[in-house]
Amino acid sequence: MPTEASLGVPIYPGAQFVASYDAGRGQRYYIFGAAASFVDLVGYYRTALKQKGELVYEVPATHEFDVGKYREETMAFPPGVTIKDYQSDISQGYPNPKPGGSPARFPTLIQIVPVTPGS
């Protein structure tokens, strides 16, 4: 289970760890589901990371925060926090992979690429 210390960034309070994936080059990225809205999560990370971040897609709403130096020669992805809105006219949210888990669907996902590779 990843921690704030191992990731190098805060985890939204109450967010649930969903999965981690190999990003290549010794990096992993970590997915967390949150019951909070996209707007609430962006606001939380703007305050926690002391930066504005950038809205990179409007549909589905996706907001990125850079949190470390990207070294192209050693990293597959820049370290950062990405917030993605999974609620829309066609989706009630990202399904909770835990059987009987609450909430049944997450309106918002958080993707974290740690500052430290291999953490």
- Which runs of consecutive H residues, i.e. helices, occur in the chain? 4-7, 38-49
Q: Is residue 118 in a domain?
A: no
Residue 119 pLDDT exceeds 60 = no
The residue among 57, 56, 16, 63 whose CA lies nearest residue 42 is: 63
Q: Is residue 67 in a domain?
A: yes
Domain interval for residue 99 = 12-113
Count of structural domains, the chain: 1
Q: Is residue 3 in a domain?
A: no
pLDDT in tens, 92-116: 999 999 999 999 999 999 999 998 6
Q: Is residue 4 in a domain?
A: no
Q: Is residue 45 in a domain?
A: yes
pTM higher than 0.85 for the full model?
A: yes
Q: Is residue 54 in a domain?
A: yes
